[in-house]
A and B are shown apart, each in its own frame.
Chain A
Amino acid sequence: MVVIGLGSPFLTDDSVGPRVVRELAREEYPGVRFVEAHAGGLLLLEELSGTRGAIIIDALLDEGLSPGEVVVSGIEGASHNAACSHDCGLTEALDIGRTMGMPLPDDTDISLVAVVAKDVTTFSEALTPEVETAVQRACTAVRSILARRHAGSPAEAP
């Protein structure tokens, strides 16, 4: 099981993914690997290879939602929306990996935890207050998924 926090540490709310991962990495989760990453696509594929499940935490830009809202979804919900402009999107990367027989988790074993960002363009190492308050809620969402996976898959104990 891998938990991936995506984002730049220097772009205000974009750093929320790595921040959540740092919080959770202090806790004991046997069999869970925590990763800070910055880009999706094929680089993400390398992190997903050989795992049976994944949780990806990232900032979300959505004008229809309020900054700080935490959105949990499966990979299906992110189809064709998870963009990495350098190589390909997450779903395309998974398609490529599966086409080539890489050991990758099923779509149903990949969860997305997204925090609605307010600002991802200002250079700062601090989150905006709205997103700062969402960190613990995002951590709770990840813990909840880890616990559920544990219940459903005793062979891969969190």
Chain B
Amino acid sequence: MNQRITIDPITRLEGHGRIEIFLDDAGEVVSAYFQVPELRGFESFCVGRQSEEMPNITNRICGVCPEAHHIAAAKALDEMFGAPCLPAAVRIRELIYSAFFVTDHTTHFYCLGGPDFIVGPDAPKEERNILGVIRKVGLDAGKEVIACRARNHGLIKKLGGRGVHLCGALPGGWSVAVTPEIAEEARQIARQNIEFALFSLETFHQIVLGNEAYRDLVMGDLYAHQTYSMGTVDADNAPNFYDGTIRVVDPAGNELTRYRPQKYLDHIAEHVEPWSYVKFPYLKKIGWKGFVDGPESGVYQATPLARLNVADRMATPRAQAEFERFFDAFGCRGTGPGGRNRPVHHRLATHWARLVELLYAAERMQELADHPELCDPNVRQIVSYRAGVGIGSVEAPRGTLTHHYSCDERGILTSVNLVVGTTNNNAPIGMSIAKAAKGLIHNGVVNDGILNRVEMAFRLYDPCCSCATHAIGTAPLEITIRRAGVGTILDRISRGC
């Protein structure tokens, strides 16, 4: 008797997704799929609009990473209008972007990914949430999570002109200069963020790595995959979220390629599967060989873990110390080709990598807030329409994000292509789910703890499936187990949000 298990929608995923698991007659996993019934058509919707509207339109693609779309769109416009961004405006953009990274990574660790570790993967699902985390780490820490989000959102609002869906970007610049008062506020916030990031890392070390069972989960084979890694780095090969070149390293740590984001189409192609709306990007130089590991497979990941794997160092001192601690823990520091780090392939370590990035973002905020150029009033420039192409790229929290526009001589958009962070990771997400399901489900035995450990395989990627809508209404969270072929429902389990 074949069985089909559906987890739909997945809990603690941004947007809606569905996991399908197929069991054979013996109750063993034959295959598993990650599907996203995603809203499509944003690119078509934008064609015919004025190009300078794009930062304000695309920041509505998603309620979670509007800053990433806003900044990527602004960078695409810089190029399209032939107006390199003014230095002070670059600082403002990057300061906002760093504050955004702090809020986003904080939210993921404490609300989405953290509950699995801090509360425990087998804890009752009613407790595997942020309230459970607060009970474990303490009320003061919980207050700091909320305060961290609030102070950074407040700063983004002041710098960006509007809360959440900021509206400050202009081609080649920013709409409002930073006052010394706001710069001082940013300095204070950055200091608090650094303390909070250090606290979060210590929490991870004590609660996760200090627990043998959790450590085995993070460092074991169940969630490991040997794929290529991708991320944006600066001239010193340190990760940079705002700008740089895109570097790809192979599973052993050798550099496969590095390129300006404008050349992305020379390096990335997209595979299509009939069962998914979302395409599967792969490395052109290697080619698509299916959902398989190894240097012969063009599958790559673009995640916080990938960004550490492609980096040779971090650009800030405290993050550098944590970076070294991270690779030391896996025995990978300096043991790769040419003395660089060997990539870490244990995907649950992405949670740890995210916290290293949280610390880097906080330290980078401090550098930017201290920079005398930040308050330069020269943040706007006059630009003229011209027919052309603009490609803007940033590292979104979930991976490399690329906006690619073409417009006519009136500045009207004629084509729009968006490659979002999660799309990069579509193939590895599916591979991680399949591997976890095969390793955990045997003899047809499925329970909540097992399904949660399967969900953890995608949650680590922090996937964001364009959740542009929401509703006050019923939000069904169900696992449906079906008989393959006829589709008869064998069981249905309701799951809480």
The reply to whether the CB of B235 lies closer than 8 angstroms to some CB of chain A is: no
What does the 1/0 interface line of A102-121 toward B look like (CB < 8 Å)?
10000000001010010011
The reply to whether the CB of B449 lies closer than 8 angstroms to some CB of chain A is: no
A43 to chain B minimum Cβ distance, whole angstroms, is 7
Query: Between A and B, how many residue pairs show CB distances below 8 Å?
Result: 132
The reply to whether the CB of B42 lies closer than 8 angstroms to some CB of chain A is: yes
Nearest to A78 among chain B residues (CB) is B472
Measured as residues with beta carbon below 8 angstroms from the partner, the interface class of chain A is: 35 or more
Bound form: Cα–Cα A83–B12 in Å: 11
Bound form: Cα–Cα A111–B426 in Å: 40
A39 near B149 with CB under 8 A, answer: no
Classify the secondary structure of A's interface with B.
loop
A100 near B131 with CB under 8 A, answer: no
A37 near B129 with CB under 8 A, answer: no
The reply to whether the CB of A89 lies closer than 8 angstroms to some CB of chain B is: yes
State which of B57, B64, B130, B472 has its C-beta within 8 Å of the C-beta of A60: B472
Say which one of A4-12, A25-33, A130-138, A146-154 lies at the interface with B. A4-12
**Residues of B5-35 contacting chain A, CB below 8 A:** 9, 11-16
- Supposing A46-B150, A83-B475 touch, asked if A6 and B470 sit within 8 A by C-beta, the answer is yes
State which of A60, A84, A97 has its C-beta within 8 Å of the C-beta of B473: A60
Taking CB atoms, residues of chain B closer than 8 Å to A123 are: 41-42, 44-45
What does the 1/0 interface line of A55-88 toward B look like (CB < 8 Å)?
0101111100000000000000010111111111
Taking CB atoms, residues of chain B closer than 8 Å to A95 are: 131
What does the 1/0 interface line of B469-482 toward A look like (CB < 8 Å)?
11111110000000
The reply to whether the CB of A38 lies closer than 8 angstroms to some CB of chain B is: yes
B470 near A92 with CB under 8 A, answer: no
Measured as residues with beta carbon below 8 angstroms from the partner, the interface class of chain B is: 35 or more
Nearest to A97 among chain B residues (CB) is B146
B316 to chain A minimum Cβ distance, whole angstroms, is 27
Interface centre among B11, B63, B469 (most CB of A within 10 A): B469
Bound form: Cα–Cα A37–B142 in Å: 24
Taking CB atoms, residues of chain A closer than 8 Å to B111 are: 42, 86-88
B249 to chain A minimum Cβ distance, whole angstroms, is 30
B107 to chain A minimum Cβ distance, whole angstroms, is 6
State which of B9, B153, B469, B474 has its C-beta within 8 Å of the C-beta of A81: B474
Interface centre among B13, B467, B496 (most CB of A within 10 A): B467
A96 near B146 with CB under 8 A, answer: yes
Bound form: Cα–Cα A114–B435 in Å: 43
A62 near B473 with CB under 8 A, answer: yes
B165 near A45 with CB under 8 A, answer: no
Please list 25 pairs of residues, one from A and one from B, whose beta carbons are closer than 8 Å in the complex, sorted by A's number. Answer: A8-B63, A8-B469, A10-B60, A14-B469, A38-B165, A62-B474, A78-B472, A81-B475, A82-B472, A83-B470, A85-B467, A86-B111, A86-B467, A87-B130, A89-B475, A92-B129, A92-B497, A97-B146, A102-B146, A114-B473, A117-B471, A123-B41, A123-B42, A123-B44, A123-B45
User: Which B residues are closer than 8 A to A by beta carbons?
Assistant: 9, 11-16, 39, 41-42, 44-45, 57, 60, 63-64, 107, 111-112, 129-131, 134, 139, 142-143, 146, 149-150, 153, 164-165, 467-475, 496-497
User: Which A residues are closer than 8 A to B by beta carbons?
Assistant: 6-11, 14, 37-40, 42-43, 45-46, 49, 56, 58-62, 78, 80-89, 92, 95-97, 99-102, 112, 114, 117, 120-121, 123
